[in-house]
C-alpha cells in the first residue's frame, strides 16, 4: 500500500488493522486516478474499495447503485462511522432533494448514492459539472450485461460518464460475472483501459452440506438446535403452502419464524422483511420470492427444504449467508419427491425445445451436486469455471466422507421390480412389492406372484427410497409425469440388469454434515461460559440501534472479538476489530460497562453455584 493516508482512514474510521490483499491494490489504483474493474465475491469487502479512495481524494464519491431500497442501509452504515453520506432518489421530497443538492455543491458530502436513471438526468449531470468529484463507483456492474438476470437498461447509459468526466476515475464492482458478462461490462462501460482485479468466486466461510431423505423437518430442527440457537437465517421451500406450514411449525418449536411469499399482501411482506433486518434471530421461511436486494450481513444460515432447480439458483440463494465473512452454513435436505417434481415440471413446461434442453442440463448439474460423494465446493466452483486445486475441508463430504457401497445387486432388484410390474407404477408401489407388503392393490394386479415380490425385505423402505432416488438422479430410471409419477427403465439401466456394469452408490445418511460439535457457525468462536456475555452484548446493540438494524452499531464479528478480549478500557476496546474512533466515543462506555458488569457477576454466579444456590432453587419451588 503506497498511500498511507488510506491505511490511516481504515484504522481510525473503520477500526480495522489492515487491508485485504486485493483491496490495497485496488484502492491504490483508484487513488492514483485510474479506472478499475473489480470482481469479488460477496463479503469480500468491495465497499471499502470505493469508500476509502473517495475519502482520500478531493471531492465527493458518486456511487451508482440499482436498488433504492438498499441505499438507506448503506448511508446509515456510513453515518454510523460519522461520515457525510447521502442519497438522492425518487422516494424523497423535492425539498429534501434540494437540500442534499446544496450540500453536494458546497462539497459537504463524502459519498452520494444515486440510481442510474437519476444520475443520467440532464439536471443531475449539470449539477455534477459544478462539483468536485472524487470518483464514480458503479456497483452491481453486471446489471449492464444482457446475459445476466439483472439487466437494467439504464446501466447502458453509464458510458457517458467517461465522455463527460474524463478526469474522474471509475471503479465498477460486481460479485457475479462470468467471462461473457465481464467482457460486456468492459465494452458497455468503456472500461477497456481499466485495471482488472478478479478474485475467485469462492465463499470460504460458507459450509455446504446436503442431506437426503429422512424427516426433513426433524433434521432441520436438529440442525438449528445444534448450530444456530438464536441466529438469523433463511429457510427456502418450493411452495407457498410449505412456507406457511414450516413457519408455523418452527414457531411452535419456539423459534421466531415468519413466512414470506408472493401470495402475502405487500404490507405483511414488508413487515416480515423489516423484522428480519432489524430484530435479532429472526428466521424467514420463504419461497424464492425472498432475497433480492437483501443485504443483511449477519445471516448465519440458509437452509433449503427443497432442491433448487439450478446450481446458479443454489449459489445465489446460499450466497445470502455470511456476507460479513464470518462462518455460516448452507444446509439442504432433499428427497425423492424433489427429484420427481423437478423432472416433471421441466417436462411439462411450455418452453421451446432448446430452452428445455438448457433447463434440463441445469437440473442435471444440480442433481449431480446433490448426489456427489466428493468435495462440494470444488464441484460448485468448477461449474462456474473456477478452480479449487484442493478439496476444501469445509463441506459435508470433506468433513464426513460418505460411505459408498456396491449397490449392483440391489439396483438389479429395484430395476427388475419396475420392469416386471410393467413400468407403470410409482416408486411407493414398487417399494411395497419389494418389501412383500400384504396389500389388496398388489394382489389385484397379481404382483404378489412375481419373483420380485418380497425380495427386498432385507432393506427398509427408507433405504429403497434412497436407492430409487439415486437411480432416477443417475438417469437409470425416468419418471413419466402423465402416468402420475410412474417410473420406467432407460437405456442406461440395461448393462446393470445384465450384470455388465457395477454400481457404487452413497450410503443413506440422515443428518446433514458438519455435525461435529466443536465447529459451530458462530458459537464456535464463543466458549460456553461466554454465551451469556454474547447474548448481553447483542441485546445492548439492539437497544442502542434506534430502530435501525442492530449490526449498524457493531457487527457480529466485532461482538465476537469483544467477547474474546473482554476489553475493560477505551484503549483496549479500540484494539477490537471494527471499533473506530467515532463508535468508540459513542458506544464505548456502554459496552465496557456491560462487560465489566458481566465479569463481576460471572464470579458471583460461580460462588453461588458452589454454595447456597441449590438450596435457593428448592426453596422457591
Residues in touch with ligand ADP (CB under 6 A)? 16, 19-20, 23, 40, 42-48, 297, 323-325, 555
With 0-12 CB in 10 A as exposed, 13-18 as middle and 19+ as buried, what is 146? exposed
By C-beta, is 172 or 398 nearer to Zn ion?
A: 398
Q: Which does 377 bind (CB under 5 to 8 A by kind): ligand ADP, Zn ion, none?
A: Zn ion
Residues 6+ apart with CB under 8 A from 183: none
Q: Which does 140 bind (CB under 5 to 8 A by kind): Zn ion, ligand ADP, none?
A: none
H or E element in which residue 23 lies = helix 21-31
Q: Which does 297 bind (CB under 5 to 8 A by kind): ligand ADP, Zn ion, none?
A: ligand ADP
Q: Which does 47 bind (CB under 5 to 8 A by kind): ligand ADP, Zn ion, none?
A: ligand ADP
Specify the pairing of strand 504-506 against strand 404-406: antiparallel
For residue 535, the minimal CB distance to ligand ADP (Å) is 21
Bridge partners (DSSP) of residue 234 are: 284, 302
By C-beta, is 375 or 579 nearer to ligand ADP?
A: 579
For residue 203, the minimal CB distance to Zn ion (Å) is 12
Sheet holding 195-198, edge to edge: 85-88, 111-114, 60-64, 133-138, 170-174, 36-39, 195-198
Q: Which does 44 bind (CB under 5 to 8 A by kind): Zn ion, ligand ADP, none?
A: ligand ADP
By C-beta, is 19 or 301 nearer to Zn ion?
A: 301
SS (H, E, C) 429-466: HHHHHHHCCCCHHHHHCCHHHCCCCCCCCCCCHHHHHH
For residue 298, the minimal CB distance to ligand ADP (Å) is 9
Q: Which does 566 bind (CB under 5 to 8 A by kind): ligand ADP, Zn ion, none?
A: none
Q: What are the residue ranges of helices labelled H in 143-281?
A: 153-156, 160-164, 179-188, 216-227, 240-252, 266-278
Size of the site for Zn ion (CB under 5 A): 6
By C-beta, is 450 or 577 nearer to ligand ADP?
A: 577
By C-beta, is 44 or 308 nearer to ligand ADP?
A: 44
H or E element in which residue 12 lies = none
For residue 99, the minimal CB distance to ligand ADP (Å) is 28
For residue 564, the minimal CB distance to ligand ADP (Å) is 15
Q: Which does 217 bind (CB under 5 to 8 A by kind): Zn ion, ligand ADP, none?
A: none
Distance spanning both ends of the chain, measured CA to CA? 64
Q: Which does 43 bind (CB under 5 to 8 A by kind): Zn ion, ligand ADP, none?
A: ligand ADP
By C-beta, is 201 or 429 nearer to ligand ADP?
A: 201
For residue 48, the minimal CB distance to ligand ADP (Å) is 5
By C-beta, is 46 or 304 nearer to ligand ADP?
A: 46
For residue 11, the minimal CB distance to Zn ion (Å) is 35
Query: Grid coordinates standing for 383?
Result: 461449474
Q: Which does 42 bind (CB under 5 to 8 A by kind): Zn ion, ligand ADP, none?
A: ligand ADP
Whole-angstrom CA distances from 260 to 116, 157, 269 are 29, 35, 6
Query: Grid coordinates standing for 302?
Result: 440458509
Q: Which does 398 bind (CB under 5 to 8 A by kind): Zn ion, ligand ADP, none?
A: Zn ion
Bridge partners (DSSP) of residue 60 are: 133
Phi-psi region of 14 (alpha: psi -120 to 50; beta: other; left: phi over 0): alpha
Query: Grid coordinates standing for 348?
Result: 411439462
Q: Could you write out the DSSP letters of every residue in 341-388?
A: HHHHHHHH--S-HHHHHHHHHHHHHHHHHHH--S-HHHHHHHHTT---
By C-beta, is 42 or 60 nearer to ligand ADP?
A: 42
For residue 72, the minimal CB distance to ligand ADP (Å) is 15
By C-beta, is 48 or 88 nearer to ligand ADP?
A: 48
Strand boundaries in 52-104, DSSP class E: 60-64, 85-88
Q: Which does 152 bind (CB under 5 to 8 A by kind): ligand ADP, Zn ion, none?
A: none
Give the closest residue to 223 by CA, choosing from 330, 126, 318, 134.
330
By C-beta, is 174 or 188 nearer to ligand ADP?
A: 174
By C-beta, is 67 or 395 nearer to Zn ion?
A: 395
For residue 211, the minimal CB distance to Zn ion (Å) is 15
SS (H, E, C) 466-531: HHHHHHHHCCCEEEECCCCCEEEECHHHHHHHCCCCCCEEECCCCCCCCCCCCCCCCHHHCCHHHH
H or E element in which residue 413 lies = helix 408-420
By C-beta, is 74 or 466 nearer to ligand ADP?
A: 74
By C-beta, is 132 or 374 nearer to Zn ion?
A: 374
Q: Which does 544 bind (CB under 5 to 8 A by kind): Zn ion, ligand ADP, none?
A: none
Whole-angstrom CA distances from 389 to 100, 377, 378 are 50, 11, 8
Residues 383, 311: contact at Cβ < 8 Å? yes
For residue 40, the minimal CB distance to ligand ADP (Å) is 5
For residue 24, the minimal CB distance to ligand ADP (Å) is 9
Q: Which does 469 bind (CB under 5 to 8 A by kind): ligand ADP, Zn ion, none?
A: none
CA distance 256 to 250: 7
For residue 376, the minimal CB distance to Zn ion (Å) is 5
CA distance 566 to 275: 30
Query: Grid coordinates standing for 595?
Result: 462487560
CA distance 110 to 83: 7
For residue 514, the minimal CB distance to Zn ion (Å) is 11
For residue 526, the minimal CB distance to Zn ion (Å) is 25
Q: Which does 392 bind (CB under 5 to 8 A by kind): Zn ion, ligand ADP, none?
A: Zn ion
Q: Which of residues 362-421 bind Zn ion (CB under 5 A)?
A: 375, 377, 391-392, 395, 398
By C-beta, is 513 or 578 nearer to ligand ADP?
A: 578
Residues near Zn ion, by CB under 5 A: 375, 377, 391-392, 395, 398
Amino acid at each position: 500500500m503506497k498511500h498511507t493516508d488510506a491505511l490511516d482512514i481504515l484504522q481510525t474510521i473503520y477500526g480495522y488493522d489492515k487491508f485485504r490483499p486485493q483491496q490495497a491494490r485496488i484502492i491504490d489504483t483508484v487513488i492514483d486516478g485510474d479506472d478499475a474493474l473489480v470482481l469479488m465475491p460477496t463479503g469480500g469487502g468491495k465497499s471499502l474499495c470505493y469508500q476509502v479512495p473517495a475519502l482520500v481524494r478531493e471531492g465527493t464519491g458518486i456511487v451508482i447503485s440499482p436498488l433504492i431500497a438498499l441505499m438507506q442501509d448503506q448511508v446509515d452504515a456510513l453515518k454510523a462511522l460519522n461520515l457525510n453520506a447521502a442519497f438522492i432518489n425518487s422516494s424523497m421530497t423535492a425539498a429534501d432533494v434540494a437540500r442534499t443538492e446544496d450540500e453536494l455543491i458546497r462539497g459537504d458530502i463524502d459519498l452520494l448514492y444515486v440510481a442510474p436513471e437519476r444520475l443520467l438526468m440532464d439536471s443531475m449531470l449539470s449539477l455534477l459539472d459544478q462539483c468536485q468529484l472524487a470518483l464514480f463507483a458503479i456497483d452491481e456492474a453486471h446489471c449492464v450485461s444482457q446475459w445476466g438476470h439483472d439487466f437494467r437498461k439504464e446501466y447502458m447509459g453509464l458510458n457517458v460518464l467517461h465522455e463527460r468526466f474524463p478526469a474522474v476515475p471509475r471503479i465498477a464492482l460486481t460479485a457475479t460475472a462470468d467471462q461473457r458478462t465481464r467482457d460486456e461490462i468492459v465494452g458497455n462501460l468503456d472500461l477497456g483501459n481499466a485495471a482488472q482485479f478478479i478474485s475467485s468466486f469462492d465463499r470460504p466461510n460458507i459450509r455446504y452440506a446436503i442431506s437426503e431423505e429422512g424427516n426433513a423437518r426433524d433434521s432441520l430442527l436438529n440442525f438449528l438446535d445444534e448450530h444456530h440457537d438464536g441466529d438469523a437465517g433463511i429457510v427456502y421451500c418450493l411452495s407457498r403452502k410449505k412456507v406457511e406450514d414450516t413457519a408455523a411449525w418452527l414457531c411452535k418449536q419456539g423459534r421466531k419464524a415468519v413466512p414470506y411469499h408472493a401470495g402475502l399482501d405487500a404490507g405483511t411482506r414488508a413487515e416480515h422483511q423489516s423484522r428480519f433486518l432489524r430484530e435479532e434471530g429472526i428466521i424467514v421461511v420463504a419461497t424464492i420470492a425472498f432475497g433480492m436486494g437483501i443485504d443483511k450481513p449477519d445471516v448465519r444460515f440458509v437452509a433449503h427444504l427443497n432442491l433448487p432447480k439450478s446450481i446458479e439458483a443454489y449459489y445465489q440463494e446460499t450466497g445470502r449467508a455470511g456476507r460479513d465473512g464470518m462462518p455460516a452454513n448452507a444446509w439442504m435436505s432433499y428427497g425423492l419427491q424433489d427429484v420427481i417434481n423437478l423432472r416433471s415440471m421441466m417436462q411439462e413446461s411450455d418452453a421451446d425445445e432448446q430452452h428445455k434442453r438448457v433447463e434440463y442440463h441445469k437440473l442435471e448439474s444440480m442433481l449431480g451436486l446433490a448426489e456427489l460423494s466428493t468435495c462440494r465446493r470444488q464441484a460448485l466452483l468448477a461449474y462456474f469455471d473456477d478452480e479449487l486445486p484442493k478439496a476444501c475441508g469445509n463441506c459435508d463430504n470433506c468433513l464426513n466422507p460418505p460411505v459408498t457401497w456396491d449397490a449392483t445387486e440391489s439396483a438389479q432388484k429395484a430395476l427388475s421390480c419396475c420392469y416386471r410390474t410393467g413400468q407403470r407404477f410409482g416408486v411407493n408401489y414398487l417399494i411395497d412389492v419389494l418389501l412383500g407388503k400384504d396389500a389388496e392393490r398388489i394382489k389385484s394386479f397379481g404382483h404378489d406372484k412375481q419373483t420380485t415380490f418380497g425380495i427386498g425385505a432385507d432393506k427398509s423402505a427408507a433405504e429403497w427410497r434412497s436407492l430409487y432416488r439415486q437411480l432416477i438422479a443417475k438417469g437409470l430410471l425416468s419418471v413419466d409425469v402423465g402416468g402420475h409419477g410412474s417410473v420406467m427403465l432407460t437405456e442406461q439401466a440395461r448393462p446393470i440388469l445384465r450384470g455388465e456394469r457395477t454400481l457404487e452408490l452413497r450410503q443413506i445418511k440422515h443428518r446433514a454434515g458438519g455435525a461435529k460439535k466443536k465447529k459451530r457457525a458462530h458459537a464456535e468462536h464463543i466458549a460456553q461460559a461466554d454465551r451469556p456475555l454474547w447474548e448481553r452484548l447483542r441485546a445492548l446493540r439492539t437497544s442502542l440501534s434506534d430502530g435501525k438494524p442492530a449490526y449498524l452499531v457493531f457487527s457480529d464479528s466485532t461482538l465476537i472479538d469483544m467477547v474474546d478480549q473482554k476489553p475493560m478500557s477505551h484503549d483496549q476496546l479500540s484494539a477490537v476489530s471494527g471499533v473506530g474512533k467515532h463508535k468508540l466515543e459513542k458506544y464505548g462506555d456502554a459496552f465496557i460497562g456491560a462487560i465489566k458488569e458481566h465479569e463481576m457477576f460471572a464470579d458471583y454466579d460461580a460462588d453461588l453455584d458452589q454454595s447456597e444456590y441449590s438450596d435457593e432453587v428448592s426453596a422457591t419451588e
